[in-house]
Amino acid sequence: MEEARAYEELRVGFTAAVSHELRTPLARLLALLESASLPGVDREGLLAQARGQVEEMSELVDDVLFLSELESGREVVALGSTPARPVLEEVRDRVADSAERADVGIVVDAAGARLPLRRRMVQVVGENLVENAIRYAGPGATVTITARDRLLEVADDGRGVEEDDLPRLFERFYRSDRARASRGTGLGLAIVKHVVVSAGGQVDAAGGPGRGLRIRCTFPAP
């Protein structure tokens, strides 16, 4: 009964958080559409902004559904092992346009490494970590993706985060004050933690203002 009550509290809290996160882009979308009906406005610009709000909501829904799949056990996280370098190089190539727009460089150092995750899970973890770094590291930063057997680390030399924020980075929907001004669902690092912990591993964050951010995922020996 205690476990059932705890689960129900978690479910209600998660539902409320999702509703809150959807309310903001919905309100912005409504305001943009109302503005588009006014005379003399830049309708193309407003429609482009509206499209961005729809894309943000779509990303949030996708992340919520994926996290739900992970927690319900329908996704097998650890299944065999995967050569890390090809997957991480694909991740680098996939986010190349975003990195260029943000003026962020990406380096992959993963020769010969294997990770105890399904290929898709390596991709999910890598993409979420790298996209987080691109979003918040700042112009001129370099993001280094390092993989060794049973270790995956994404570190940047950018602006960093407040040390008080480090323990909360993996909470669902948590954003630091600076991060609130940036686009993002607030679920990326929560998904990373869930995948890593489900595979028996651990995840931690280190850094500080002006010292960049390093997120390290470690997995147990077989």
pLDDT tens, 130-149? 999 999 999 999 999 999 99
Residue ranges, the chain, pLDDT below 50: 177-183
Q: What is the pLDDT of residue 221?
A: 81
Q: What is the pLDDT of residue 145?
A: 97
Q: Percent of the chain beyond pLDDT 90?
A: 37
What pTM, to 2 d.p., does this model score?
A: 0.68
Q: What is the pLDDT of residue 179?
A: 45
Q: What is the pLDDT of residue 41?
A: 85
Q: What is the pLDDT of residue 73?
A: 60
Query: What CATH code would you report for 82-218?
Result: 3.30.565.10
Domains of the chain, residue spans: 2-72, 82-218
Cα separation, 205 vs 166, whole angstroms: 6
Q: What is the pLDDT of residue 86?
A: 95
Cα separation, 88 vs 126, whole angstroms: 7
Please name the fold of domain 2-72.
Helix Hairpins (1.10.287)
